[in-house]
Amino acid sequence: MAGSYQRSERVASGLAPALAVSGVALEPVTVESLTAGGSAILLFVNEECPTSALAMRRLGPLCQGWAKAGVSCTAVFEDPLEVALRVARRCGWTGHVVSQPPPYQTSDAYGLVSVPSAFLIDRGDRIIASVTGWDQAAIELLIRRAATLTGTSLATPEPALPLRKPGCSSKAALDPAVAAAMAARPDEDEMEEMFERGWTDGLPVVPPTEERVAKMLGACLGHTSLGPVPPAMGEATLERLAACAVLAGCRPAYFPVVVAAATAALDSRFNVHGQAVTTQPAGQLIVVNGPVRHEIGMNSGMGALGPGNRANLTIGRALRLMIELTGGGMPGALDRSTLGHMGKIGFCIAEDEEVSPWTPLHVERGYAPDQSVVTLIGTDAPQSISDHRSRTPEDLAYILAWAAASAWSTNWWPLTEPSVFIICPEHAEMFRAHGWTKQRLREYMFDAVHKPAKSLSRGETTPYVHLSDPDTEVYKWASPAEIILIVAGGEAGRYSAVLGPCTGMGSQIVSAEVDPR
Amino acid sequence: MTAYVSPFDDRVRPEQPLAQRPAELRGLRVTLLDIRKNRGAEFLDRIESSLQSAGANTTRETKEIFSKPAALDLIDHITNISDAVVEALAD
């Protein structure tokens, strides 16, 4: 057992000073709460110290067993909490993890000069034993004393070399200038660090430094909450959402659109909860309408569903990162999608209102043309519809509609959720030239796709088909309202697309206005 | 060291201990919760028969839709009328 430099009068008198730390639990962490089971071991550590890592690796796996015997074990980091959690995870630490901010008031109160330093505290707040640095024999003695306090036996770490190893300076004992110099570590690859932290969807991300997040937030208040994000119900503060927008690669000018998309996605009518965890491939399509499309340079033209435009790609990605990181809906974890689709990386398009012959989506949904609005729709991946040879709007409408006949599943008729058709400009021009309104096209498409129930009965089909007379005509959609029409795409080429529905979720289309800053 | 803003909500809620498991089924009030997943009701029918054979008193309740969390009112109701719950999660 080694002594430590005594700065605190309370430590000098053998009593444990109060803790000024924060952890992941909602309740404050106090000496009393940690010793409630009988006694507590505090292990002061920091990220930069190899001896701290050694101590955590040797003691970490034993903490859970000690806790069952009434001895809590807590790693007290001189690092930010998210760093502490990462280091603890990497070291196999199974005890509590708490963090203290500069100037490391708790380390100072315990008289630390170096880490790791271990303290055994009993229920009367008395410091029973302490160890500085790594000292196998002293640690075993400290653990035996903890066992005596609780009247049980406690496992001790297997002796392994080195049996003794000096610690590193506690940050509380460092000159501030020295601490700042040590904090600068230009050799680290922060891009790789993002992967190590798990702050990614699998692609490289932009590190969300405090400066970048502050720029993203602009005048927004970071603590403002949009509510819990399913499925894990992490709280979507604007600061966390801004961190997701930075990670996604958004420019600050996109953030109002990201906020609107998050607001719509978290509306209970959208049921992102079901979409986030389902085995379906469902992604969340964001359709942007109104002046903001031009203000932030969105692409509604050539390759509108593909690569090439930063705003389109990063706004959709920011929403997905919120669901995956803040909400815990990461594929393979709480997201149980069998296949998923590429739109689950990010799925954001802008409608080409200027080329469209029809009322834009947001105006159909009750907004004014000069309002900027996002509309969220749960959808499958796009399926291209090639039609270069139809010469009448009736033929083209028939081809477009029948392309969706297998949407969701071959014989799953009728669909009660929306199918989204992205109509390319050349196809839209056909309907404009013949004076077809959006509603006329929608009704024609609805009427075009039907089959007798008996031809839909093979394999999986709907209860509706099962209950129908075999000769009854069954339509692909429950009503024309399930056909959503949006115009986008390059001026040349006759390729439209249909996005099948997310079914069975009770998910509704939800819109939200973009709040101009 | 560069300071970052975490996208995670690192707070964790206290772990809820599992309710004590009943020692026997006889006289137990068991609610069978149908979440409306395909064929879940058939599965619950079989479970219900077995429970009743073992002397349990069963009740059936149904969620609004499988893809949304159960309404708090429904959870409260089940809590008030049950000693144990069986939930058919998926097909």
Confirm if B68 and A271 have CB atoms less than 8 A apart.
Answer: yes
Is residue A1's pLDDT more than 60? no
HEC profile for A269-325? Answer: HHCHHHHHHCCCCCEEEEEEECCHHHHCCCCCCCCCCCCCCHHHHHHHHHHHHHHHH
Range of the structural domain that residue B57 is part of = 29-88
For residue range A63-92, list pLDDT tens digits in order: 999 998 999 999 999 998 888 988 898 888
| Nearest neighbour of A25 by CB, restricted to B3, B14, B67 | B14
From B64, which residue of chain A is nearest by alpha-carbon distance?
Answer: A506
Which tokens in the block code for residue A332?
Answer: 């393979």
Q: Does B19 touch chain A (CB under 8 A)?
A: no
| Nearest neighbour of A506 by CB, restricted to B6, B14, B65 | B65
Q: What are phi and psi of A127, to 5 degrees?
A: -85, 115
B27: phi > 0 → left, psi -120 to 50 → alpha, else beta; which? left
| Alpha-carbon distance B66 to nearest alpha carbon in chain A (angstroms) | 8
ipTM, 2 dp: 0.84
For residue range A211-259, list pLDDT tens digits in order: 999 999 999 999 999 999 999 999 999 999 999 999 999 999 999 999 9
Is residue A180's pLDDT more than 80? no
For residue range A254-282, list pLDDT tens digits in order: 999 999 999 999 999 999 999 999 999 99
A210–B4 CB contact, under 8 Å: yes
Q: Does B72 touch chain A (CB under 8 A)?
A: no
In a domain, B15, yes or no: no
Query: Average pLDDT in the A339-366 region?
Result: 97
Whole-angstrom Cα distance, residue A449 to residue A402? 6
Chain A residues contacting B, CB < 8 Å?
24-27, 47, 79-83, 85, 183-185, 190, 197-199, 207-210, 213, 232, 234-235, 239-240, 242-244, 246-247, 271, 273-274, 278, 321-322, 325-326, 504-507
For residue range A280-305, list pLDDT tens digits in order: 999 999 999 999 999 999 999 999 99
| Nearest neighbour of A273 by CB, restricted to B5, B13, B68 | B68
Q: How many CB atoms lie within 10 A of CB A43?
A: 25
Whole-angstrom Cα distance, residue B31 to residue A23? 38
From B11, which residue of chain A is nearest by alpha-carbon distance?
Answer: A24
Residues 6 or more apart from A27 whose CB is under 8 A from it?
A33, B14
| Alpha-carbon distance B79 to nearest alpha carbon in chain A (angstroms) | 23
Question: pLDDT grade, residue A187 (50/70/90)?
Answer: low
What are the residue boundaries of the structural domains of chain A, listed by start?
9-180, 192-513
For residue range A5-60, list pLDDT tens digits in order: 445 677 778 899 999 998 887 788 999 999 998 999 999 999 989 899 999 999 99
In a domain, B23, yes or no: no
**What's the pLDDT at B20?**
85
Query: Average pLDDT in the A482-493 region?
Result: 97
A208–B3 CB contact, under 8 Å: no
| B67 neighbourhood in chain A, CB within 8 Å | 271, 273-274, 278, 504-507
- pTM of the model as a whole: 0.75
Which CATH architecture group holds A9-180?
A: 3-Layer(aba) Sandwich (3.40)
From B7, which residue of chain A is nearest by alpha-carbon distance?
Answer: A240
A325–B8 CB contact, under 8 Å: yes
| B11 neighbourhood in chain A, CB within 8 Å | 24-26
B1–A83 CB contact, under 8 Å: yes
A80–B3 CB contact, under 8 Å: yes
On average, the pLDDT of chain A sits at 93
Number of structural domains found in chain B: 1
Q: Does B64 touch chain A (CB under 8 A)?
A: yes
Nearest C-alpha neighbor of A360 from the set A264, A262, A488, A477: A488
Q: How many beta-carbon pairs under 8 angstroms link A with B?
A: 89
In a domain, B9, yes or no: no
Whole-angstrom Cα distance, residue A274 to residue A319? 16
Question: pLDDT grade, residue A177 (50/70/90)?
Answer: confident
| A245 neighbourhood in chain B, CB within 8 Å | none
The burial class, CB within 10 Å (0-12 / 13-18 / 19+), for A50 is exposed
For residue range A141-153, list pLDDT tens digits in order: 999 999 998 888 8
Nearest C-alpha neighbor of A490 from the set A296, A313, A352: A352
Q: Is the peptide bond before A291 cis (omega within 30 degrees of 0)?
A: no
| Alpha-carbon distance B83 to nearest alpha carbon in chain A (angstroms) | 27
In a domain, B53, yes or no: yes
Whole-angstrom Cα distance, residue A368 to residue A290? 9
